[in-house]
Structures are given as structure tokens and as C-alpha cells.
Chain A
Amino acid sequence: MNTTVLISVFATGIALMTPVLWAALGEAISERAGVLNIGIEGVMLFGALVCAWAIREGAGIWTGLLLSIPVGAALGLLLAFLWVSRGADQIVSGIIFNLLALGATTLLFEEFLKGVGVVTSLDDIRIPLLADIPLLGEILFEQPSVVYLALLAAPLVFLLLNHTWFGLYIRSAGEKPRATETAGLSVTGLRYTAVILANVLVCFGGAALIAITSGGFVSNVTAGQGFVALAIVVLGRWNPFLIVGGALLFGVTQALQFQAQSLGFLSSLPPEAWLSLPYLVTIAAVVVAKSSRYPNACGVPFTPAGATR
């Protein structure tokens, strides 16, 4: 593998990891608060649809990206109602929500977006000076803006979770919700906030997928990337910095398929083998991360004291 291929794989990998990174950062917030947000795939689909619609209507990529924020918040509110207020089983209702999202986005796509439309993607922004660094410059500093934003968001989420009162409260709601309640905090309120914030990031990730790849929307365009984000959160041990590493691993394995023909004897592998590589790596990741422990109350509905369901 020569230098050009290496640069190309990593540069593409960093671009491709971005949607998953946004989603994984969101997922980390919600899981830290004790809500396993399996609906992540469906929320990403809605984000992608909204962004594709905005581009199609000529409103521009950034309108699409920004529009995904209220959409994500609304979906987050719906999911929070199901999981926090109604105490519905998070895994099962998350999977069912994904089915609903797949059906709904397909329907809206076929009804309003089908056919060839304007397809554009975000331009690469070259950061002066930094882009001149050999190797690293070309890989890191000639990327679309959402990529830089995602890399900025990771430390921000880290600060939010680990160095603010809000982060502390959220983490306590995810570890020992009963104690959190005894301390006078509203577990319901904290989890609502966390789930809504999380899904804003997830939905933005879905929109970023369209903004980066320019492929336009197709049915099930996310192809399991939300589920990959679930695994990356486990691999990154709910730490945003490690999550960046996990997302990069996924992005690079995804990018390999585009360079398959320059990989010598491996080039004879069928394309399906390359396509399945990111999923196999994800499985390997959850196996390797066997010592990482979910937040104690993650996935368990919480009934506030005195409330009955």
C-alpha cells in the first residue's frame, strides 16, 4: 500500500466516519442517562430525508443540516415520551420505531422526492497552513465543514458529560436513578433532556450523511450505520474521545472498499466481502470491548416514587 492510497483511505475514512461519529456522540449522552436509544437508526433516516428534501427544494445543504435539528428534537421528544414517561421496553420499542421510520421515510421519499433532483455535497474546506503538513494535512485538513464540527463536538460532549453539573446529574440518573431522585433531582426531566439532546445529534448525523456523500436519499440510506454507532459507543466506553477512535476504525474499513483494486491479492475478493467488512469489524469491536460495562441503569425504565403505571 503506497502513500497515495494510504492518504486516500484515511481521508475518505474520516469523511465517512462523520455521520456515525455524530450519532455515537448522541448515543453516549442518552446511554449515560440510562436510556438505550435503539431508535438511533430511524432518527438518522429522518435526518437524512430532511436534508435530502431541503437540497432537492433548492434550499441548500446547510438549511437541510439545520432543519435536522428541530426534527431530531421532535423525534427525541416522542421517544422520550415512550421510554421515560410510558416506560416502554427500550430495545423492543426502539426496533419497532426503526421499522416505522423505515416505512415512513420510504413513503415520504417515494411521494415527494423520487426521481432525479439536484444532488450536491459540501465542498472540502482547506485549512490554510495546516493543510500543508505532509500526510496529516491532506488527511485531516481538507475535509467538509461537518467533519471539523464533529471533531469539535467530541470534546464538547466530553466536557458536558464529565465537567458540568448537568453531566454529573445525567450520569447519576444512568447509574443509580433512585439515589438521584432521593437527592431531589427529577430523573424524568434529566432523561427527557438527555434523550432530546442525543437525538438532535443523531439526526444531524443522518443529515451529515447526505451532505457528505451526495448520493441523495434512497430507501434505507443509512444501511445500519446507526446500529454501528451503538457498537462504537460500547467500544469507546462512553468516552467521546475513544468514540472518535472507534468511529475512525469504522470509517477506514468502509473506505477500504474504494481502494480494493490497489490492494494486491485482496483485489480478487468479491465486492460483497468488502461491503461486509465494516459490519464484521463492528462485531469484533463488541467482542474486544468485553470489559466495558453499560451504565448500571441503562435500558431499565424508571418509575418515579409514588407514581404508578
Chain B
Amino acid sequence: MSAGSKGLLARALAAPDPRALGTGAMALGGTLLFVSLLVAALGESPFEAIWTILDGALGDPAGIGQTLMVAVPLALCGIAAAIPFTARLWNIGAEGQMHIGAFMAVAVALTLPSLPAPVFIPLILIAAVVGGAVWAAIAGGLKTAFGANEVIVTLMLNFVAILIATYAITGLWPQGIAPATERVPDSALLPSVWDAGDVNLALPITLVALVAAWVLMTRTGLGLQIRSIGLNPFASRMNGMRVGTVTIATFAIAGVFAGLAGAMEVIGENASLITNFSANYGYIGIAVALVARLSPAWILPSALLFAALQVGSQSLPAAMGIPTSFGQIIIVAFVLGLLGARVIRLRYAEGAVQ
């Protein structure tokens, strides 16, 4: 192994500088204060709340397994935000791309005659990935061709995508009065890899996808172009990079990861496309990407942190009568604190939004 590759790995995993850690600690302190006040306002003990969350997320195999399975879409949506953000392309559309992936998965699984699993599952995943990529590429294409602000376009496409998924549930393949589509055939379901934790093949697939994202960003020409455009689009153009093509490609790549996330929700535990299956994973993925400082190597730990809070919060209503959205508030307040403390900062070239 050459010294260069070791340096690269070291750089990818490098700890943030000490000053950032100091302000990070301040952000953490501020978040804890905010959370304590919030819990106190609800008339409960903050310590008990945090203990309940930890116990629910990591207390038993079922909790650990669920944390891992929630980390799957969060990590994939994190990548779907991190890669375009590196190019300073604001893909807020992971939520929609995920819904299109789920729609494509359920469409293929329910319309094709049942095939053996080794053929069926890859086919479903490919359809979902293509769907997500094409959906995401719309935003990239509109930005390249018309200079349409990708923040607005991706946000609007999210609402449209969710309505398309809703149409699959209410119009195309309804399952009685349940807010879900018909059940997909058994041969379309991802096989289990850890029964005690109810963990299926989605986890290994996600790990492979994370490695692929890391390789793409650090080892390929396209990754270099994406990073270069993020640092300075004008210099990149002057150096002969096709900024428009790379823009569309970047969005399509993001859509691949988000679409994969959506499909694996459908052919995983749920076995159908259910209303509100995503629980804002697409948006929380942005926070995951920020905490990972847009580095693919840090996406997994970041996603696990968010997943643990999310899963742990589910025990709050039963244990303490605090609504589940509490967990989301904690983590999001923390990320906002990190942004305010400038621990997470994105480099800025002079220029406007467009």
C-alpha cells in the first residue's frame, strides 16, 4: 500500500480541528439546554427522556436491529444530499426521489409476473434506481437549461412525487381501506440477514452503496469534477469541464441513492408502499450529510446517530407521554446549533444563489 492512499484515508477520516470541537461542544451544550427547557415545559424529566431514548434504541437486539434499518434510508438520503452539496448543487429532493423509487419498486413488483428472487430483486432495485435518477435529473436539467433554482424545483418535485406515490396507494393498487398498496409477492422481498434484529439485505446493500459513493467522490474523474465545480464553477468551466453535464449527472447520481432507499423500504419490512413510509427521511438525510461534513466516509456514523435518536424516541409516548417528534427536534436543534456555531460551514465562492 502506497503512502498516498494511506494519506487519503487518513484525510477522509480526519478529526475536525480543536477549535471546531470547542464550538461544537458549545452547540451541544446549547442543544441540551434547549431540550431540557422543552422537556421541562412538557412537565417531564429531561434525564429520563434521554435515558428512555437510549434504552429504546440500543437496549435489546430488536432496538439495535431497528436502529440499523432506519440508518439505511438515512445514510442513502445522506449521500443523496452530500454528493450534490459538494458541487454546491442544493438537492433538497431526496424525499421525492425516494418516493419515486418506492413507486417504481411497487409498480415492477406488482405488474410483472412473479419471478425467482435472484432475478426479481435486482430487477426491482434497477427500476427504482433508474426512476429516482430520472426524477432527480429533471431538476439538474431545468437548472442547466433554464437556470431554474434547484432548491425550488426539487422542493416542488417532492410534493408531486409524494402525490404520485399516493395515487399508487389510492388509485392503482389499493389494499382495501388500509393506507397501503397491495402486498408485493414474497419472491420480491429482501431476505433476512439477522433474524433477532429483523435486519434484511438492505443493510449490506447500503454498505456497498456507501463504499461506492466514497470511491466515486475520491477516486474517479467525475468525483473530481463534482468537487471542483463546488469549489469554483467558473474555473472549472475554464478548465474545460462541462458544468451542465456534470450538474445533471450529479443530480442523477443523488437520485440513484435516494431511489434505492425508497425501493428497499417497499420490498423490506413493509412489503408494500405505505402512506408516509419515509417519515421525512429525505429531509433528515440533509442533516445527516451536514453532520458528516459531506464526507461519504462519515455518513454511516452520522446516520446511525440520527437513527438511534429516531428509534429511541418511539418509546417516548408509551414511557413518558412525550410525542415521538421529540427525537427529531433534539437532533435538528443540534444541527442548527452546529450551523450557527460554524462547526458545519460550507465554502462560499463569491456570487449569487443561481
Residue of B nearest to A82 (CB): B340
Q: How far is the CB of A54 from chain B (nearest CB, A)?
A: 19
**With A283-B153, A287-B148, A296-B352 in contact, is A96–B335 under 8 Å at CB?**
yes
Contacts A106-B323, A224-B159 given; indicate if A86 touches B340 (C-beta within 8 A): yes
CB distance from B292 to the nearest CB of A (A): 13
Least CB distance from B225 to A in Å reads 22
> Which residue of B325, B326, B348 has the most chain A CB atoms within 10 A of its CB atom?
B325
**Which residue on B lies nearest to A34, using beta carbons?**
B352
B157 contacts chain A at the CB level, 8 A cutoff: yes
Tell which of A87, A88, A272, A293 touches B170, judged by Cβ atoms closer than 8 Å.
A272
Among A16-24, A44-52, A273-281, which stretch is in contact with chain B? A273-281
Question: Which of A63-71, A236-244, A298-306 is found at the contact surface with chain B?
Answer: A298-306
A111 with B323: CB separation less than 8 A: yes
Partner of A107, one of B142, B146, B159, B325: B325
Chain A contact surface mostly: helix
Residue B287 lies at the interface, judged by CB distance under 8 Å to chain A = yes
Known: A82-B339, A88-B342, A96-B290. A272 touches B167 (CB 8 A): yes
Tell me whether B151 is interfacial, beta carbon within 8 Å: yes
Whether A99 and B152, one on each chain, are in contact in the complex, defined by CB atoms closer than 8 angstroms, is no
B346 in the interface (beta carbon within 8 A) = yes
Taking CB atoms, residues of chain B closer than 8 Å to A99 are 280, 283-284, 287, 328, 332
Interface residues of A in 245-302 (CB under 8 A from B): 270-273, 275-276, 279-280, 282-283, 286-287, 290, 293-301
How far, in angstroms, from A299 to B333 measured CA to CA in the complex? 22
* CB <8 Å contact, A102 and B280: yes
Residue of A nearest to B321 (CB): A111
Which chain B residues numbered 316 to 352 have a C-beta less than 8 Å away from chain A? Answer: 323, 325-326, 328-329, 332-333, 335-336, 339-342, 344-346, 348, 350-352
Q: Is the CB of A276 within 8 A of B340?
A: no
Task: Tell me whether A104 is interfacial, beta carbon within 8 Å.
Answer: yes
CB pair B153–A286 under 8 Å, yes or no, is yes
What residues of A have a CB within 8 angstroms of the CB of B278 in the complex?
Answer: none
**Other-chain residue from B147, B283, B352 in contact with A297 (beta carbon distance below 8 A):** B352
Closest chain A residue to B139, Cβ basis: A283
**Which residues of A88-105 have CB atoms within 8 Å of chain B's CB atoms?**
88-89, 91-93, 95-100, 102-104
Range of interface residues on chain A?
35 or more
Main SS class of interface, B = helix
- Taking CB atoms, residues of chain A closer than 8 Å to B350 are 300
Cβ-defined contact, B353 with A91, below 8 A: yes
B200 at the interface (CB under 8 A from A): no
A298 touches B167 (CB 8 A): no
B149 at the interface (CB under 8 A from A): yes
User: A100 contacts B351, CB within 8 Å?
Assistant: no
* A36 in contact (CB, < 8 A): yes
How many Å from the CB of B94 to the closest CB on chain A?
A: 11
Asked whether B92 is an interface residue with its Cβ less than 8 Å from the other chain, the reply is: yes
B326 touches A107 (CB 8 A): yes
Q: Let me know if A1 is at the binding interface, CB within 8 A.
A: no
A234 to B353, CA, bound (A): 12
| Measured CA separation A102–B332 after assembly (Å) | 10
A89 to B354, CA, bound (A): 15
The docked-state distance in angstroms from the alpha carbon of A273 to that of B170 is 12
**Pairs of residues from A and B, 7 with the lowest C-beta to C-beta distance, nearest first:** A299-B353, A103-B329, A103-B328, A272-B167, A290-B146, A272-B163, A100-B332
User: What 4 additional pairs, Cβ within 8 angstroms, besides A104-B325, A111-B42, A224-B158?
Assistant: A86-B342, A92-B339, A100-B336, A102-B325
Pick 5 A–B contacts, CB within 8 A, sort by A: A102-B280, A102-B328, A107-B323, A272-B164, A300-B352
